[in-house]
C-alpha cells in the first residue's frame, strides 16, 4: 500500500500541507482535489520520487510497476502505435531481444517470457487504445511529429495505459479529450485492476471512476470515502458543523469576556473573574469555517438583440471539396441554448467554424443580423493571446474608455488580482490563460456565444462560475464541451452530429453515452465486414504489405519464422527418438539405462514441442492480425 505519515511538502518556501497521514490501499481509485497551487501536482511528484518531502515519510511498494502520463512529448519520427507500444517496457525489451538473439535456448526462454506477458496481442491492444482515444487506423501509422500538441497528449495517455502497471497516475487526463473519448476512458479505468491516483476537474468523470477523494485545503490533506458528489456532501456537512462549533465558541467567549469585564474590578468577584480569564485562555480557538474562494462573474447584457441573430440555411460544411456535414439548418434566436454532441471527428468543430464565418460554406447560406456580436471561444483560444501583454493591458486595448479601477474589478472576478493583473500572460498557467481568454470575450458583451471546449484547463471552481454565468446569459448559446455538468445545466436541447448529418437528439446525456456505445459497435462491425471482404480479395490476389506496415510486420514475421523453424527441428528430433524406441533391442535388460535416457529425452522434447507449437500459432495469428499473409 501507499503510506504517508506526518508528511509535509513545501514549494518555493511555501508550505503546501503539513503533518498529513493516511494510507492508500491496493486497488483504490483516488482523486486528488483542491484549488490550483494547493499541492496536488507536488504530491504526484513526491510519489514518483522526483520531489523530496520536507518532513515525514512517503512510501509505496518497491516492486510495483508505476505508470504515469507524461506532460510533454518530443516530435518523434516513430509511428503513433510504436510510441504507444513503448509504454510496455518489458514487451519492448523482449521484442528487441528476439530480433537479435541467435542462441536457441535463450530464444526459447524469450518466447516463453513473451507468451507469459501476452506479447502476441500487444499490437492489437495498442491499436484498441488508440482507437478509443480517437485515432483512426491511418492516424496510428503517422509519425508522432505530425500530431498537434493536444493529440500528442492523447498519445502520452495511451502510452501510460499500455503499461501493465500496479499504480497508474494521471494528471488532468481529460484536458485534451472530447466527450466520447472521456466516456471510453471512464469505461477503461473502471475495469483497471491496479491502484489509480488522478487529478481532474471533471466532476462527472470523478464520480464515475474514483472511490476515494484526498482533498487539500488550508495546508491540510483530508481523506474522504466515496466519489466526488459524496465528498462534496460530506465536506459541506463538516463545514457546517465546524461553523456551528465556531459560532457557539464565539458566544461562550463573549459571555466569559462580558463577565470578566463586569466583575474584574469588584473585590468580591475578583476570584471568579480570574477563574474565567484562565478558562478563556485555556480555550483552543476554533477558526471560522473556510471554503475555497470561488470565482464569480456574469455576462454583461448585450447591447442589442434581434430574431434571428444568425442562421444557417441548407448549409454543407467541410474542407475543400469534402463535405463533412450536409444540409445544416440552424436558426439562432436570443433564447437558443444548444449543446452539440457527436463522435470524435464527426464534424462538430467544422459546423462551429462554419457558423462563426471562419470556414467558407460549400453550399447554402449564412445570414447574420446587423446586430450580431459573436463571442467565440475556440479550442485553442489561448494560442491567440498576446503572451507579452498582461490581463490589464489586454483588456485596456478593447476597453479604451473604461477606468483602470473598473477594469481591475472586472479582472478580479476572473481571479486576476494583485500582481497577477499586471503579469505578462507568458508566465501564466494553462488555466490562467483560459480565464483571460474568456474574460476578454465576456467584456465584449456578445449576444451569441459559441463555445468550443471552453473548460479546458479550468478548475472546478471556475467551471462552476462559468456554468452559473451561462445560465444567466441573456443571449443565444451553442456549446461543444466534454463537461457534462456544464452541458446539462446550460443547454435546453441537444443536436447530434454523426454520419455526415445533424439531427435533434431527444435524449439525455446518459442516453447519449448509450447511443455512443451502440454507434461504436456498429462502426466495429463495418470495419470487420470490410476486413472480411479484404481477406477474400487477398485470397484471389497476393497483396504485399505497405511500407508503413513493414516495421510492425517484420518482427512479428521473424518471430513466427523462428518458432516455425524450431518446431520443425524439434519435430525431427521427436521422429528420430520414436524410431529408436521402435527398435525391440532397446528394451533388453542390457539397454535399461539407455532406454531410460531415451524416454527422459523424449518426454522433454514432447513437452517443448507442445509449447513451441502453441507459441508458433500465437505468433502466426498476431502476424495475420497485423496484416501479414
Q: pLDDT means per 10 residues in the chain (629 residues)?
A: 90 86 94 85 87 88 91 83 94 89 81 84 89 88 87 92 95 87 92 94 91 90 90 80 74 76 66 67 58 68 90 93 93 92 88 92 94 89 88 92 92 88 88 88 92 85 85 90 89 92 92 87 65 50 49 70 84 81 72 74 75 75 66
Cβ atoms of 121 and 622 within 8 Å: the answer is yes
Torsion of CA 151, 154, 155, 156, to 10 degrees: 120
Three-state secondary structure readout of 227-239: CHHHHHHHHHHHH
Could you give the CA distance from residue 196 to residue 167 in angstroms, rounded to a whole number? 6
Of 96, 79, 212, whose CA–CA distance to 135 is shortest? 79
Domain ranges of the chain: 2-232, 233-282, 310-506, 508-541, 547-625
Q: Which fold has domain 2-232?
A: Rossmann fold (3.40.50)
Could you give the CA distance from residue 429 to residue 36 in angstroms, rounded to a whole number? 10
Could you give the CA distance from residue 440 to residue 446 in angstroms, rounded to a whole number? 11
3-class state of residue 14 by DSSP: strand
Cβ atoms of 392 and 440 within 8 Å: the answer is no
* Fold agreement between 2-232 and 310-506: yes
CATH superfamily of 310-506: P-loop containing nucleotide triphosphate hydrolases (3.40.50.300)
CA angle 549, 343, 499 (to 5 degrees): 90
* Separation in Å, CA 592 to CA 266, 579, 583, 599: 118, 17, 13, 11
Burial 426-464 (b: 16+ CB within 10 A, else e): eebeebbbbbbbbbbbbbebbbbbbbbbbbbbbbbbbbb
For residue 295, give the DSSP letter. P
The residue length of the chain stands at 629
> Cell triple for residue 462?
471556475
CA angle 474, 478, 481 (to 5 degrees): 120
Of 326, 316, 328, whose CA–CA distance to 362 is shortest? 316
User: Which element (helix H / strand E) includes 452?
Assistant: strand 448-452
Of 468, 469, 493, whose CA–CA distance to 479 is shortest? 493
Amino acid at each position: 500500500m501507499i503510506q504517508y505519515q506526518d508528511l509535509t511538502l513545501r514549494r518555493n518556501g511555501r508550505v503546501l500541507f503539513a503533518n498529513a497521514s493516511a494510507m492508500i490501499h491496493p486497488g483504490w481509485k483516488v482523486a486528488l482535489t483542491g484549488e490550483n497551487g494547493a499541492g496536488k501536482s507536488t504530491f504526484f511528484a513526491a510519489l514518483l520520487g522526483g520531489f523530496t518531502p520536507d518532513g515525514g515519510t512517503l512510501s509505496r511498494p518497491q516492486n510495483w510497476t508505476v505508470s504515469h502520463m507524461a506532460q510533454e512529448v518530443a516530435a518523434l519520427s516513430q509511428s503513433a502505435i510504436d510510441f504507444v507500444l513503448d509504454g510496455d517496457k518489458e514487451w519492448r525489451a523482449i521484442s528487441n531481444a528476439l530480433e537479435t538473439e541467435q542462441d536457441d535456448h535463450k530464444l526459447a526462454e524469450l518466447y516463453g517470457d513473451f507468451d507469459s506477458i501476452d506479447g502476441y496481442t500487444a499490437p492489437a491492444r495498442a491499436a484498441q487504445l488508440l482507437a478509443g482515444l480517437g485515432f483512426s487506423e491511418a492516424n496510428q501509422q503517422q509519425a508522432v511529429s505530425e500530431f498537434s500538441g493536444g493529440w500528442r497528449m492523447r498519445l502520452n495517455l495511451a502510452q501510460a495505459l499500455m503499461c501493465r502497471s500496479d499504480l497508474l497516475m494521471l494528471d488532468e487526463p481529460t484536458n485534451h479529450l472530447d466527450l466520447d473519448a472521456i466516456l471510453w476512458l471512464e469505461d477503461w479505468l473502471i475495469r483497471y485492476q491496479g491502484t489509480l491516483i488522478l487529478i481532474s476537474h471533471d466532476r462527472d468523470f470523478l464520480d464515475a471512476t474514483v472511490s476515494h477523494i484526498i482533498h487539500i485545503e488550508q495546508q491540510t490533506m483530508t481523506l474522504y470515502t466515496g466519489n466526488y458528489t459524496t465528498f462534496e456532501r460530506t465536506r459541506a456537512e463538516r463545514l457546517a458543523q465546524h461553523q456551528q462549533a465556531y459560532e457557539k465558541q464565539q458566544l461562550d467567549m463573549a459571555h466569559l469576556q462580558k463577565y470578566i469585564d463586569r466583575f474584574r474590578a469588584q473585590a468580591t468577584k475578583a476570584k471568579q473573574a480570574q477563574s474565567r480569564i484562565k478558562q478563556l485562555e485555556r480555550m483552543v480557538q476554533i477558526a471560522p469555517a473556510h471554503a475555497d474562494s470561488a470565482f464569480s462573474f456574469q455576462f454583461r447584457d448585450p447591447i442589442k438583440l434581434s430574431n434571428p441573430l444568425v442562421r444557417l440555411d441548407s448549409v454543407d460544411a467541410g474542407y475543400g471539396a469534402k463535405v463533412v456535414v450536409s444540409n445544416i439548418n440552424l436558426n439562432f434566436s436570443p433564447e437558443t441554448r444548444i449543446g452539440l454532441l457527436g463522435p470524435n471527428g464527426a464534424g462538430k468543430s467544422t459546423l462551429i467554424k462554419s457558423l462563426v464565418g471562419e470556414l467558407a460554406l460549400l453550399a447554402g447560406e449564412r445570414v447574420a443580423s446587423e446586430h450580431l456580436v459573436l463571442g467565440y471561444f475556440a479550442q485553442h483560444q489561448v494560442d491567440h493571446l498576446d503572451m507579452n501583454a498582461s490581463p490589464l493591458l489586454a483588456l485596456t486595448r478593447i476597453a479604451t474608455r473604461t477606468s483602470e479601477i473598473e477594469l481591475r474589478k472586472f479582472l478580479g472576478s476572473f481571479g486576476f488580482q494583485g500582481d497577477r493583473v499586471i503579469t505578462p500572460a507568458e508566465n501564466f498557467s494553462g488555466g490562467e490563460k483560459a480565464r483571460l481568454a474568456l474574460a476578454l470575450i465576456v467584456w465584449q458583451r456578445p449576444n451569441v456565444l459559441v463555445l468550443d471546449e471552453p473548460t479546458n484547463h479550468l478548475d472546478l471552481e471556475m467551471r462552476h462560475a462559468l456554468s452559473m454565468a451561462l445560465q444567466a446569459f441573456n443571449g443565444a448559446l451553442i456549446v461543444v464541451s466534454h463537461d457534462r455538468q456544464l452541458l446539462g445545466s446550460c443547454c435546453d436541447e441537444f443536436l447530434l452530429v454523426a454520419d455526415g448529418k445533424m439531427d435533434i437528439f431527444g435524449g439525455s446525456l446518459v442516453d447519449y453515452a448509450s447511443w455512443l456505445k451502440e454507434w461504436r459497435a456498429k462502426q466495429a462491425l463495418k470495419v470487420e465486414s470490410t476486413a472480411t471482404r479484404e481477406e477474400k480479395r487477398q485470397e484471389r490476389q497476393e497483396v504485399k504489405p505497405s511500407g508503413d506496415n513493414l516495421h510492425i510486420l517484420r518482427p512479428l514475421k521473424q518471430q513466427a519464422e523462428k518458432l516455425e523453424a524450431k518446431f520443425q527441428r524439434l519435430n525431427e528430433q521427436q521422429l528420430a527418438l520414436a524410431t529408436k524406441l521402435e527398435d525391440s533391442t532397446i528394451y533388453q535388460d542390457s539397454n535399461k539405462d539407455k532406454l531410460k535416457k531415451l524416454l527422459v529425452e523424449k518426454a522433454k522434447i514432447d513437452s517443448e514441442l507442445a509449447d513451441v507449437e502453441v507459441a508458433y500459432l500465437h505468433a502466426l495469428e498476431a502476424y495475420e492480425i497485423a496484416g501479414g499473409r
